Amino acid sequence: MESPIRIVVGLGNPGEKYAATRHNVGFHWLDQLADTLHASFRVEAKFHGLCARATQDDTECWLLKPQTYMNASGLAVAAICRFYKIAPEQVLIVHDELDLEPGIVKLKSGGGAGGHNGLKSIIAQLSSQSFWRLRIGVGHPGNKHAVVDYVLHPPRKEEASHIEQAIDRSMRVWPLIAKGDLAAAMHQLHTRCDK
């Protein structure tokens, strides 16, 4: 059994203009989790974001949507981790993943940033790569020069449907993640994903 997750961070960019984009899938996931747990977000200036306190089976955790824009997400994550003395291993970052097709979702611990600016910022600010990541596939445009434009646009209709299914599937393993049974969560999620 791993350490229980004490904070879940959904990555995205603030503002209506970015709300439906591929890059904001982390915000979207966190909104769904907050709805499930009947948690409501409020502005927390000292954490540079929108925060909610949530409870799952007597386990309390924080939900955070950084409002710093993607490239500075680490400022918000580091601020709340320092304040509540949360170790990187107790952090789950939910983000869009270019290397996975829409409909695929993977859970993993550690690793590099893989070119994701939000992860780069978090690694730099925490001085650690050992946080958990829930990687929600959005696909790749096929050309590295098209990536920025691609992630800042909404997914096509059929992609959006696959992404929704992946989010729903990952929501089902949340109780396992919350209590720190991440190995079981990974097994269940990846077994379902790869069928």
For residue 104, give both structure tokens.
């695929």
CB 74, CB 91: distance < 8 Å: no
Positions annotated as catalytic residues are 23
Distance (Å, whole) CA 82 – CA 79: 5
The 10 Å Cβ neighbour count of residue 127 is 9
Determine if residue 18 is labeled as part of a ligand binding site: yes
The 10 Å Cβ neighbour count of residue 190 is 16
Determine if residue 117 is labeled as part of a ligand binding site: yes
Distance (Å, whole) CA 7 – CA 31: 14
Partners of 162 in the beta sheet?
none
The 10 Å Cβ neighbour count of residue 187 is 14
* Known binding-site residue numbers for tRNA: 18, 69, 71, 117
